[in-house]
Chains A and B, each alone.
Chain A
Amino acid sequence: MCLAVPGKVLEATDIGVNRIAKVQFGGITRTVYLDLLPEAGVGDYVLVHVGFAISKIDEVEAQRTYALLEELGNVLEDETGPPESGA
């Protein structure tokens, strides 16, 4: 129920009182309300839940964390040898 899917904002337009975006999820594009995240703009990645963007994904943080994790994986492999089967 609390699942939210990351997607890329392709367009953002004000329609009446709402701010509405086209957001791309893999090969699919859907209409998403930006009313809870008005600062989101074209090119941003956002987390979408029940038709609303609820959070902007921080690309710099995402890359930094992932690089640290990959480094951890490499360090562990160096220290312990290749992963044991079935682990």
Chain B
Amino acid sequence: MKYIDEYRDAGLAKAIARAIRARATEPWVLMEICGGQTHAIMRYGLDELLPPEIELVHGPGCPVCVAPLEIIDKALEIAARPEVIFVSYGDMLRVPGSHTDLFRLKAAGGDVRIAYSPMDAVKLARRNPSRKVVFFAIGFETTAPANAMALWQAKLEGLGNFSMLAAHVLVPPAMRAILGSPDCRVQGLIAPGHVCAVMGWREYEDLAREFRLPVVVGGFEPIDLLEAIQMLVVQLEEGRAEVENQYVRSVTREGNQAAQRIMERVFEVTDRKWRGIGAIPASGFRIRAELADFDADRIFGTEGITAEEPKECISALVLQGLKKPADCAAFGGRCTPAFPLGAPMVSSEGVCAAYYAYRRRAPGGAA
């Protein structure tokens, strides 16, 4: 496919890896934020192609993985109601709540459906006027505009049986929390290309200034990621801390303004709890008060539900880039994609699932 195949050229990948090797004179620790990028790095073995000076640590950019236990418990509470059709992106179904998960609830007779697009949930609401259709709206800034558009469409059509359980999260506040931690070793950031396609990269200029570290907006194919790493290494070797854009074919500094406008119309910024990190101020979106009629959390009275994270899962440290999945005693034994202890093993983009799928069972990549 155009814009995919040419960015997977093995010869070019090796050439860029050699250029990185030639340029790196000291060890550098780089973080890719997005789970999609983590997955590509593992799938194509990019970490093994890089010289030993370059260490990649993996950020919290998997919305399924950072969804706190309590939002899963809220989803389960709502989905168990007989009048509800609960609609979710597929990845959320196996994420364990305090006692069960949406997949088991579905197996036990709950009307839980998987959607490819939030507009699928709007269609269901249109076709099932006697049922209450609730869409589980998770995602980063990439997904929030589509979810916002679905809610707005339901409002325009007067679909009173449509609502949304919103658990949106925002990248820059989480990065600020991670980079500000005293244990943080990260020296350069690959910013998430599709988040930036929507938001542009102005917020990352603040991060680069605040933490004096280089940021490169990167794409998702192997050549994109290697070029982004090369650009970071060049900046680090030259002592620069700027925002650069590797993903020029899809990202502009201002981003997609139509997408930003619909997000603003439907959502407002709120504090959010992140699995593994804790509460981060102003790090998510909630549905605006004037659209409360579409807010499932208010309609079904689940606002008060809270939950404690399980102790055995070390996703807290993994999602901040402080530990690798293989450092966890439960990894690949008590915790597998079939029986996950924590969300990073559930989502196809979760860092533990990526290490498991591509057999990075021990530090250094040995199986």
B-contacting residues of A (Cβ < 8 Å)? 1-4, 6, 8, 17-18, 25-26, 33, 35-38, 45, 47, 49-52, 54-59, 61-62, 65-66, 69-70, 72-73, 76-77, 80, 83, 87
Contacts and interface: CB of A to CB of B under 8 A. Distances in A.
B36 A3 contact: yes
8 contacts: A8-B2, A33-B117, A35-B258, A37-B256, A51-B117, A62-B248, A69-B16, A73-B11
Given A51-B117, A55-B256, A2 B142 contact: yes
Contacts of B3: 6, 45, 57, 62
Contact of B194 (A2, A26, A61): A2
Interface in B7-23: 11-12, 14-19
Interface in B111-136: 116-120
Contacts of A56: 250
Question: Which size bracket describes the interface of B in this complex?
Answer: 35 or more
Nearest to B250: A55
Given A2-B63, A70-B12, 20 more contacts: A1-B36, A1-B89, A3-B220, A4-B194, A25-B1, A33-B149, A35-B258, A36-B258, A37-B259, A45-B2, A49-B146, A51-B116, A52-B117, A54-B142, A54-B198, A66-B6, A69-B16, A69-B227, A76-B18, A83-B11
B24 to A, nearest CB: 15
Given A35-B149, A47-B250, A62-B3, A2 B61 contact: yes
Contacts of A69: 12, 16, 223, 227
Contacts of B34: 2
B161 to A, nearest CB: 19
A4 to B, nearest CB: 5
A59 B119 CA distance: 29
Given A50-B146, A54-B197, A1 B11 contact: no
B143 A50 contact: yes
Contact of A36 (B4, B16, B146): B146
Nearest to B257: A36
Nearest to B148: A36
B35 A2 contact: yes
A36 B256 contact: yes
B15 A73 contact: yes
